Structure 1
Amino acid sequence: MVGMQYKVILPKNYDMGIIRKRVQDNGHKTDGFPGLNFKAYLITEAEKYENLYNSYAPLYLWNNYQGMNKFIFDGFYDNILESFGWQQINIGVPLSINLEKDFNKSRYVVEYAGNIPESKSLIKTPFNSINQYVKNTEKCLGNLLIYNPDKWGYSQFSFYQEKPKIDSVDHLTVYEVLHVSQ
């Protein structure tokens, strides 16, 4: 499996209705895409949920590299290039995945981004838990922990149907989910 995300940072005055319409019109096109476990169409809006910027930041979990390669190199990613220009695609390896059967009903995602500290052993690597910042963790529809040994960073994603109650914390982003393709 491979995790993939690109974050298109948009101006604070950008009309996010454009992204909402884009996903409404085209989100279904990745439903059933070969090799795709899921794609969550994520956005942030400036000053909403304490976010600092507007963004379009889809999150993918690929079952295999062939599906990801097809998406990137067979013209599908060209829509991003045409609309938003060259984007850095962040790639990571899933360390843990737990998705409930109702996962596709997710409407919010909380991401905690952290760093893996240098150490003599990785056996007991400390990954901070989103649970310490989210008040209603029992309503979680799934968790995904992706790490990148190239950058020694990780992101933990937790999925919710209702907006979670969170404590404000650095390295925490709250996304709205516009569509989930599986």
Structure 2
Amino acid sequence: MPLTRISLARGKPPEYLRALSDSLHWALVEAFEVPPDDRFQIIHQHEPGELVFDRIYLGGPRSDDFMLFQVTGGRPRGTATKAAFYRRLVERLAEAPGVRPEDVMVVVSTNQLTRAPALDHLPGLGLKAYLIRERGVEGSPVNQYAPFYLWASTEGMGRFLWGGGGFGGIVDSFGRPPVRHWTGVTCLAGPDRDGAPRHATRHTEPMPVDADPTGLVAEAVADLQRRARQPGIHTIALAVDPRSWELVRFTLWTGPAAAEDAPLYQVLHLSVPHLGEITRAA
């Protein structure tokens, strides 16, 4: 299911926007392998100064009718398919509503990770959830890639981070990011463990200053056991950050997540090589 965001300057009439939408949709159907009933678009009209672009860089000359199409596909498309889609989109837009090819820019991305299976058999890994948030989708204010790991052993975590187990590829590509980590308390299987998680939430709660963590953690474990029986839960885990004395509750949902004060993530892929070793029944 591709989701397309169209960004253009404010001021176009409804019939122009409808022609824009139709041309995009049929170009996707004709050249991007999209079913005719699969139509999901968001049109953003921007005030002066909000849509910033160079008029001649890598093409042009661009006019005030410049527009950006951001297509997020569920699976990767090859270069030939992308090129065919661009050609067909430009042709249709020229017909209706009458957009110049120089004013069309297309960005195609995918929400399916092609390298995700690389960790499906990693020694010492309980699970890795490949999570994203997209600005404007399900209430997210930001774009964010936020992988979450539950480790079956500290040796496995160390091997991954500095023993050549996979983190080096991230360092080579993006530099060495800080890695937040917590001490695991418990991990429980939910009633929908056999389903495919669609969403994840990560709820954090600071412990009261100077409070004995013994009782607080015991209460959090009891609360986790109650929550783990909710329909739609795949896995739920509790951890503690002893540096800031913060409780962290991580939940994977196979359906809509229950309302709670926590960021909501989309699950792109779930690697679970040793999940059975770190979970128990609620």
Query: TM bucket by the smaller chain?
Result: 0.7 to 0.9
> Following TM superposition, by how much is the alpha carbon of 1:104 offset from its aligned partner in structure 2, in angstroms?
6.5
Equivalent residue runs for 1:124-139 within 5 Å: 124-125=215-216, 127=220, 137-139=230-232
Is the 2:207–2:213 Cα contact (8 Å) retained in structure 1?
no
- 5+ residue gaps, structure 1, are 1-13
Asked if 1:164 corresponds to 2:257, the answer is yes
* 2:180 paired residue among 90, 96, 117: 90
| 2: CA distance, partners of 1:19 / 1:88 | 26
Structure with the larger strand share:
1
- Aligned 8 A contact 1:110 1:175 in 2: yes
Q: CA deviation at 1:85?
A: 2.5
Aligned in 2, Cα 1:87/1:48: closer, same or farther, shift over 3 Å?
A: same
* RMSD over aligned Cα atoms: 3.0
TM-score between the two structures when normalised by the length of structure 2? 0.51
Q: 1:106 aligns with which of 197, 221, 227?
A: 197
- Quick one: distance in 1 between partners of 2:159 and 2:195? 23
Quote the residue 1:77 is aligned against. 167
Question: How far apart are residue 179 of structure 1 and its match?
Answer: 0.8
Q: TM-score, normalised by structure 1?
A: 0.76
Q: One-letter code of the match for 1:41?
A: Y
> Structure 1 residue runs of 4+, over 3 Å off?
14-19, 126-131
133, 148, 151: which one pairs with 1:62?
151
Q: Which has more helix, going by share of residues?
A: 2
C-alpha distance in 2 between matches for 1:123 and 1:30:
35
Which of structures 1 and 2 has the larger relative contact order (alpha carbons within 8 angstroms, sep 6+)?
1
1: CA distance between counterparts of 2:169 and 2:72?
A: 18
Amino acid at match of 2:135: A
User: Unaligned regions of 5+ residues in structure 2, if any?
Assistant: 1-69, 74-108, 273-282
Which residue of 2 is the match for residue 147 of structure 1?
240
* Paired residues, number: 162
